[in-house]
Structure 1
Amino acid sequence: MTQSSPTHKVMLLVGATSDIGHATALAYVEAGWDVILAARDAAGAARNAADLTARTGRPVPVVALDITDTAAFPAFVRDLPRLPDTVVSVVGLLGDQARAQSDLADAALVMRSNFEGPALLLGLFAEHFAARGSGTLVGVSSVAGERGRASNYVYGAAKAGFTAFLSGLRNRLAARGVHVLTVKPGFVRTRMTAGMPLPKPLTAEAAEVAAALFRGAEVTRRDVVYVRPVWALVMMVIRAIPEPVFKRLKL
């Protein structure tokens, strides 16, 4: 793995088969970046890479990565052709709350997919970026992590952990030349949310998330981005509800 490139900046996208991942990759490629797609489903990532190449004429390599196979992370990073300038994790597994309540393996998969895997991988890249003195780490978390709700507290707890990890990483690396961005999309119209009743004013499109992510990471250098700013107000109200009242709400 080399430290620099004579031509374009490189972004590594983890979670490349998702709708948000595909839109994010397109935003970076169209901005002139070289993009590497990483996903457990290498065939699905290859289809997205082919689409990106057809749209832009730029080659988009694909590498296999299972975000739950944390033991493979050091070799994965070592075998990259070069150390990326930016690493973006859009990995997410909504899971099924009812099943996760009684199925420990299912709950563990949700927690490992949304917190353990992404956090450990970004933490590993953080060490390389700190040694180099530059780099950007982006984690797509969720407003669901701001307060536990009965309807999705396993997923929400995992995202809460990821949000806290990114915050601590940002605090530690602020003086080391490494930028850490937390993105909170709220509801997004994707395959993962297909069939769910989504409130239109609070629901973003995948391309909207990608645009906000790219701007926050590479232009404005923000710390935390709510894709739709209204979510900051919504969550401030939800966090302020007293616990005795909150327990009686069906959220």
Structure 2
Amino acid sequence: MTRLAVFGATSAIAGAVARLYAAEGASLFLVARNAARLEALAADLRARGAAAVTTAVADLNDLDRHPELVERARAALDGLDAVLIAHGTLSDQAACEADAGLARAELTTNFLGPVSLLTALAPVMERQNRGSIAVIGSVAGDRGRGSNYVYGSAKGGLGVFVQGLRHRLGRSNVAVTLVKPGFVDTPMTAALPKGGPLWAKPERVAADIRRALDRGPAVLYTPWFWRWILLIIRLLPDAVFRRTRL
């Protein structure tokens, strides 16, 4: 029986991952800010077959609470087989350009928050000497673009941190995977125009994450074709890239 902790559980992708585990009879520990949405998700997961569902209401931007939440997850599940960190927001680039305070807040949510959680989580996983962690980043972290460089810089920094943590925890048989979704049709992207083959549903991304938590790759681009799209973008010479509107 798998024991899964999800931080940021009420996001569309995290909820879809949790539903996959519930159908397998897993035990779950869920952390999210909105109590009503969290309880609705917990009830749905129990109905789908979860062996047990424990919840904790917390604002994950309150970094000082992270050690407590990680310990509660470990104690509630009597160990952690898998962890999903899905804490983040899609930054408003224009608003961040006009307000340094907002830019700092977005960096806290998308970089410092996951880093703080992972720092609290790492020694727990080391002591177990086993387990798997998936951290949701973004393809936006692969190259700085004028349209979203505040968000992209947070995700890029997170990628380097996760890479180093994977190197550290590899000695303890703990796999750490950076998940890089492309365009996903979720409430977070509600303001963006949608349609076309590049957009994916949360369930598609969740299925990829579920497999990655079993297999433990270093990086997961989801859907798969984003790996090759971003390879092209990264290889564009700067003189060419500056003239694009990506």
Superimposed CA distance per residue, residues 38-81 of structure 1 (whole angstroms, 9 cap, x where no aligned partner): 01222221111112223336442211222211111122223332
Whether the aligned pair in 2 keeps the contact of 1:93 and 1:113 (CA below 8 Å) is: yes
1:15 is aligned to 2:8: yes
- Secondary structure in structure 1 of the residue aligned to 2:48: helix
Task: Report the counterpart of residue 238 of structure 1 in structure 2.
Answer: 233
Task: Report the counterpart of residue 88 of structure 1 in structure 2.
Answer: 84
1:130 is aligned to 2:120: no
1:43 is aligned to 2:65: no
Task: Report the counterpart of residue 198 of structure 1 in structure 2.
Answer: 194
Distance 2:174 2:136 in 1: 17
Superimposed CA distance per residue, residues 65-115 of structure 1 (whole angstroms, 9 cap, x where no aligned partner): 222111111222233323322110112200211001121222122111111
Superimposed CA distance per residue, residues 165-192 of structure 1 (whole angstroms, 9 cap, x where no aligned partner): 1111111111211110111110001111
TM-score normalised to structure 2 length: 0.93
Whether the aligned pair in 2 keeps the contact of 1:146 and 1:160 (CA below 8 Å) is: yes
1:227 is aligned to 2:222: yes
Range moving further from structure 2, 146-155 or 24-33: 24-33
Task: Report the counterpart of residue 186 of structure 1 in structure 2.
Answer: 182
Task: Report the counterpart of residue 141 of structure 2 in structure 1.
Answer: 145
Distance 2:236 2:177 in 1: 27
Superimposed CA distance per residue, residues 124-157 of structure 1 (whole angstroms, 9 cap, x where no aligned partner): 2111111221121110110000001111111111
TM-score normalised to structure 1 length: 0.91
The CA RMSD over aligned residues, in Å, is 1.5
Distance 2:117 2:81 in 1: 15
1:26 is aligned to 2:19: yes
- Secondary structure in structure 1 of the residue aligned to 2:244: coil
Distance 1:135 1:18 in 2: 23
Distance 1:221 1:75 in 2: 26
**CA gap 1:71/1:51 in 2 versus in 1, 3 angstroms:** same
Task: Report the counterpart of residue 96 of structure 2 in structure 1.
Answer: 100
Whether the aligned pair in 2 keeps the contact of 1:52 and 1:58 (CA below 8 Å) is: no
Aligned positions, number: 243
Range moving further from structure 2, 51-60 or 120-129: 51-60
1:250 is aligned to 2:240: no
- Secondary structure in structure 2 of the residue aligned to 1:60: strand
Gaps of 5+ in 2: none
Whether the aligned pair in 1 keeps the contact of 2:25 and 2:49 (CA below 8 Å) is: no
Q: Pick from 207, 229, 233: which aligns with 2:203? A: 207
Superimposed CA distance per residue, residues 4-56 of structure 1 (whole angstroms, 9 cap, x where no aligned partner): xxxx3210011111111110110111122111110122222111111222333
Task: Report the counterpart of residue 3 of structure 1 in structure 2.
Answer: none
Range moving further from structure 2, 96-105 or 76-85: 76-85
Range moving further from structure 2, 64-73 or 185-194: 64-73
Distance 1:17 1:87 in 2: 15
- Secondary structure in structure 2 of the residue aligned to 1:79: helix
Whether the aligned pair in 2 keeps the contact of 1:119 and 1:162 (CA below 8 Å) is: yes
One-letter amino acid of the structure 2 residue matched with residue 152 of structure 1: N
Distance 1:105 1:49 in 2: 35
One-letter amino acid of the structure 2 residue matched with residue 72 of structure 1: R
Task: Report the counterpart of residue 156 of structure 2 in structure 1.
Answer: 160
